[in-house]
């Protein structure tokens, strides 16, 4: 029983780190991994999702609906930003960094001015699971299920729907897609909106567990960029593998030496991967498969 | 001026107000990082600065007057009380910068002096918001209570996550409630069982405190909470007024001569407080604030008039010389 409890505890910690990496990187994987926009406003989409979720939950919406509400709002905001700003920067990656960074500054300072330096949290849904002498938050297990659901859902969306096929075609071969009658600019807007909505989903899912401040998105940034960079261009092959490897590194380093070494481990891993596998895990996995 | 929480801005502003505007006194800084960033500039221009927040203690600097509480006031009271009430096994989690490191050293020293055991200690990088593994480490350590010296919004996520994992251990801190009024901002019961030693919060039920709350509310009706910095800044302002009146001007040597007399006291929101001439820190009445399950505050214990004795006993005497340094238990003035 004690052995089982220990294994459960280790698995739980791995799952917790894994779900944080997957959920926080999903939006960035679509916008940066697929579309190639280095989106420095990723954290602000997350913050937007968290704030809308909290506001919706406060007026009485059940939490899952509130989270979807946040994703919807951020998705629409994302599409608006794509239409007005990002659209002009598809072939200017360096400019897209500056532009999205500007959006990020405007968003955090704007929220600070309008809504103040802090917002009342909504509290984690109650419930804990006891395994042996330890007890675990039930909501963290829900987050793990959400991470798995997110991966499956994205896979189905991009590989088994018409939108997914068209979106991948548009991003890989825009001229060819246009020649076949695809409205590529609409697809770009929808994909960017989807990325924003996914980022916002991360904010909504983690909002009940966190302090709500305008800069809260910043705590997701390092983890999400590291996961996407380690994962490489093909997000469906790369991101889950990257999240799994990084979660093992982070959970075990944190367990043995504390949070500081968990972060150091994460950053060393990304340096090693960039140096050894410039195309990320997905490029390497694909090459070995051929 | 309110600089953004960026230490370089503190330095810029400090240089500007001292060099260009040539002000007589500055009330400055919210974190120990900002204070240590601007302090060399105050020394350079021989200015006078008030630091009005509680901190990790040890600043022996004639250019500084500190109205905030220090470890011998907050930890020498809190930690023995916690050990007596809940047990001798202590786990500390602290923000990984000067405030957290030095405060944790104080906790370690006091636990050791009192015959307790440190069952764990972890320093959390600023900006970390996920505490699953830390929470598990705490549970496995067999701690009787947790000392939380966490700072900033990201790290504050700990309380929600610990409550949701049903950790159920009492917590002790020198920073919560009295500064960030987390008991008002967080959803109950995430901060339940938190114990904080502070020299002032608005719940303190004395005539002086009630009068202060009334005056403060009349002047600033929209402020969400009246915390210890509000009281400390109020004390600082009246203290400076008294110093200038008694010194007959703003000349620093005359002001220091008044301080050296050792009778600079003020009846403030938290009762009578006096300025210690050796360290230029304040004596304080310290209240133990306990957060209940519904996030209301009770005061199980009050320590009257605790002097900021550590620096003076360790060898700092600003009436004799001015080392302008910050000391810690492992690096006391006498060692230098």
Minimal Cα–Cα distance from A108 to chain B, Å?
Answer: 13
pLDDT(B243) > 60: yes
Contacts of A260 in chain B (CB under 8 A): 96, 123-125
Percent of chain B beyond pLDDT 90?
A: 68
CB A219 to CB B154 under 8 A? yes
pLDDT classification of A34: cutoffs 50, 70, 90: confident
Does A185 contact B at CB distance below 8 Å? no
CB B185 to CB A121 under 8 A? yes
Identify the domain boundary among B179, B198, B217. B198
pLDDT classification of B73: cutoffs 50, 70, 90: very high
Distance CA A26, CA A147 (A): 9
pLDDT(B14) > 90: yes
Q: Which domain holds residue B76?
A: 72-198
Q: Based on the domain organization, do B248 and B146 belong to the same domain?
A: no
Contacts of A136 in chain B (CB under 8 A): 165
pLDDT(A290) > 70: no
CB A12 to CB B132 under 8 A? yes
pLDDT(B2) > 70: no
Does A226 contact B at CB distance below 8 Å? no
pLDDT classification of A1: cutoffs 50, 70, 90: low
Contacts of B130 in chain A (CB under 8 A): 16-17, 20, 219
Q: Based on the domain organization, do B84 and B185 belong to the same domain?
A: yes
Mean pLDDT of chain B: 91
State pLDDT tens for residues A216-241: 998 899 889 999 989 887 878 888 89
Q: 3-state SS string over chain A?
A: CHHHHHHHHHHHHHHHHHHHHHHHHHHHHHHHHHCCCCCCCHHHHHHHHHHHHHHHHHCCCCHHHHHHHHHHHHHHHHHHHHHHCHHHHCCCHHHHHHHHHHHHHHHHHHHHHHHCCCECCCCCCCCEEEECCEEEEHHHHHHHHHHHHHHHHHHHHHHHCHHHHHHHHHHHCHHHHHHCCCCHHHHHHHHHHHHHHHHHHHHHHHHHHCCECCCCCHHHHHHHHHHHHHHCCCHHHHHHHHHHHHHHHHHHHHHHHCHHHHHHHHHHHHHHHHHHCCCHHHHHHHHHHC
Which residues lie closer than 8 Å to B172 by C-beta, 6 or more apart?
B78, B79, B82, B145, B146, B147, B148, B194, B195, B196
CB A209 to CB B96 under 8 A? no
Higher-pLDDT residue of A211 and A50 is A50
pLDDT classification of A257: cutoffs 50, 70, 90: confident
Q: Based on the domain organization, do B321 and B228 belong to the same domain?
A: yes
In terms of residues, how long is chain A? 290
Is residue B301 in some structural domain? Answer: no
Is residue B96 in some structural domain? Answer: yes
pLDDT score of A131: 78
- Name the pairing type of β-strands A128-131 and B325-326: unpaired
Is residue B85 in some structural domain? Answer: yes
pLDDT(B3) > 90: no
Is residue B109 in some structural domain? Answer: yes
Q: Based on the domain organization, do B90 and B178 belong to the same domain?
A: yes
Mutation target vs A (from B141, B148, B162, B166; most A CBs, 10 A cutoff): B166
Is residue B300 in some structural domain? Answer: no
Is residue B89 in some structural domain? Answer: yes
Contacts of B157 in chain A (CB under 8 A): 209-211
Mean pLDDT of chain A: 89
CATH number reported for the structural domain that contains residue B135 in this entry:
3.40.50.2300
Percent of chain B beyond pLDDT 70?
A: 98
Identify the domain boundary among B198, B223, B246. B198
Of A24-33, A91-100, A278-287, B285-294, the range with the lowest mean pLDDT is A278-287
Percent of chain A beyond pLDDT 70?
A: 99
Q: 3-state SS string over B149-196?
A: ECCCCCCCHHHHHHHHCCCCCCEEECCCCCCCCHHHHCCCCCCCCEEE
pLDDT classification of A202: cutoffs 50, 70, 90: very high
Is residue B228 in some structural domain? Answer: yes
State pLDDT tens for residues B16-67: 999 999 999 999 988 888 999 999 999 999 999 999 999 999 999 999 999 9
Q: Based on the domain organization, do B38 and B102 belong to the same domain?
A: no
Which residues lie closer than 8 Å to A169 by C-beta, 6 or more apart?
A176, A177, A180, A182
State the virtual CA torsion across B277, B278, B279, B283 in degrees, nearest 10: -50
pLDDT(A2) > 80: no
Q: Based on the domain organization, do B168 and B216 belong to the same domain?
A: no
CB A219 to CB B190 under 8 A? no
Minimal Cα–Cα distance from A202 to chain B, Å?
Answer: 13
CB B125 to CB A260 under 8 A? yes
pLDDT score of B197: 95
Of A101-110, A119-128, A173-182, B85-94, the range with the lowest mean pLDDT is A119-128
Which residues lie closer than 8 Å to B6 by C-beta, 6 or more apart?
none
State pLDDT tens for residues A102-127: 999 999 999 999 988 888 888 888 77
Q: Based on the domain organization, do B49 and B87 belong to the same domain?
A: no
- Name the pairing type of β-strands B117-124 and B89-95: parallel
Q: Which residue of B has its CA nearest to A123?
A: B187
Q: Based on the domain organization, do B175 and B223 belong to the same domain?
A: no
Is residue B84 in some structural domain? Answer: yes
State pLDDT tens for residues A40-98: 999 999 999 999 999 999 999 999 999 999 999 999 999 999 999 999 988 888 898 99
- How high is the ipTM of this complex? 0.81
pLDDT classification of B89: cutoffs 50, 70, 90: very high
Q: Based on the domain organization, do B222 and B263 belong to the same domain?
A: yes
Q: Based on the domain organization, do B138 and B166 belong to the same domain?
A: yes
Mutation target vs B (from A202, A219, A221, A260; most B CBs, 10 A cutoff): A219
Identify the domain boundary among B163, B198, B233. B198
pLDDT classification of A5: cutoffs 50, 70, 90: confident
What would the mean pLDDT of A273-290 be, rounded to a whole number?
81
pTM of the model: 0.84
Tokens of A127: 């419930």
CB neighbours of residue B294 within 10 Å: 9
CB B165 to CB A137 under 8 A? yes
Closest CA to B234 of B256, B250, B212, B217: B212
Number of domains in chain B: 2
pLDDT(B5) > 80: no
Q: Based on the domain organization, do B32 and B145 belong to the same domain?
A: no
pLDDT(B335) > 60: no
CB A136 to CB B140 under 8 A? no
pLDDT score of B236: 94
CB A135 to CB B125 under 8 A? no
Q: Are B162 and B137 in contact (CB under 8 A)?
A: no
Higher-pLDDT residue of B292 and A124 is B292
Q: Based on the domain organization, do B245 and B324 belong to the same domain?
A: yes
């Amino acid at each position: 029983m004690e052995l089982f409890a220990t294994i459960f505890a280790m698995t739980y910690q791995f799952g917790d780190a894994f779900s944080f990496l997957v959920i926080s990187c999903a939006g960035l994987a679509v916008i940066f991994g697929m579309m190639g926009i280095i989106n420095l406003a990723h954290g602000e989409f997350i913050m937007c999702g968290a704030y809308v979720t909290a506001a919706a939950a406060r007026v009485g919406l059940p939490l899952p609906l509130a989270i979807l509400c946040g994703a919807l709002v951020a998705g629409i905001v994302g599409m608006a930003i794509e239409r007005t700003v990002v659209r002009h920067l598809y072939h200017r990656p360096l400019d897209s960094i500056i532009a999205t960074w500007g959006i990020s500054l405007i968003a955090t300072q704007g929220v600070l001015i309008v809504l103040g330096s802090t917002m009342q949290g909504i509290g984690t849904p109650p419930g804990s699971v006891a395994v042996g002498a330890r007890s675990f938050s039930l909501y963290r297990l829900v987050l793990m299920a959400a991470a798995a659901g997110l991966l499956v859902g994205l896979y189905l969306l991009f590989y088994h729907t018409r939108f997914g096929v068209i979106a991948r075609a548009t991003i890989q071969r825009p001229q060819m897609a246009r020649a076949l009658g695809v409205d590529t600019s609409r697809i770009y807007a929808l994909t960017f909106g989807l990325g924003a909505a996914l980022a916002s989903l991360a904010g909504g899912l983690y909002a009940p567990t966190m302090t709500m401040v305008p800069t809260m998105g910043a705590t997701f940034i390092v983890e999400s960029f590291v996961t996407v960079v380690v994962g490489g261009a093909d997000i469906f092959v790369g991101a889950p593998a990257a999240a799994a490897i990084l979660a093992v590194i982070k959970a075990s380093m944190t367990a043995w030496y504390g949070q500081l070494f968990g972060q150091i481990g994460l950053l060393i891993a990304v340096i090693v991967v960039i140096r050894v596998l410039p195309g990320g895990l997905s490029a390497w996995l694909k090459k070995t498969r051929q | 001026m309110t600089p953004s929480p960026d230490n370089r801005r503190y330095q810029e502003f400090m240089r500007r107000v001292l060099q260009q505007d040539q002000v007589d006194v500055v009330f400055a800084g919210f974190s120990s990082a900002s204070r240590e960033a601007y302090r060399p500039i105050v020394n350079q221009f021989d200015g006078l600065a008030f630091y009005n927040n509680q901190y990790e203690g040890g600043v022996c600097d004639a250019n500084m007057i500190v109205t905030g509480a220090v470890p011998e006031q907050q930890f020498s009271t809190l930690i023995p009380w916690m050990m007596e009430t809940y047990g001798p096994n202590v786990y500390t989690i602290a923000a990984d910068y000067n405030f957290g490191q030095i405060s944790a050293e104080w906790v370690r020293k006091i636990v050791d002096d009192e015959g307790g055991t440190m069952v764990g200690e972890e320093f959390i990088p600023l900006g970390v918001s996920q505490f699953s593994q830390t929470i598990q480490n705490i549970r496995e350590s067999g701690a009787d209570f947790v000392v939380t010296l966490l700072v900033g919004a990201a790290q504050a996520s700990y309380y929600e996550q610990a409550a949701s994992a049903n950790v159920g251990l009492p917590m002790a801190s020198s920073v919560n409630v009295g500064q960030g009024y987390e008991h008002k901002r967080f959803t109950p019961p995430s901060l339940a069982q938190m114990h904080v030693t502070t020299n002032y919060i608005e719940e303190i039920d004395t005539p002086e405190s009630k009068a202060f709350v009334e005056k403060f509310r009349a002047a600033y009706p929209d402020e969400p909470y009246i915390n210890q910095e509000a009281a400390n800044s109020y004390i600082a302002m009246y203290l400076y007024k008294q110093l200038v009146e008694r010194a007959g001007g703003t000349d620093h040597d005359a002001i220091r001569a008044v301080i050296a007399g050792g009778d600079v006291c003020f009846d403030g929101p938290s009762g009578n407080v006096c300025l210690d001439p050796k360290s230029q820190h304040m004596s304080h009445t310290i209240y133990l604030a306990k957060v209940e399950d519904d996030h209301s505050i009770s005061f199980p214990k009050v320590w009257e008039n605790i002097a900021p004795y550590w620096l003076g006993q360790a060898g700092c005497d600003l009436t004799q010389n001015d080392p302008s340094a910050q000391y810690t238990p492992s690096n006391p003035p006498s060692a230098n």
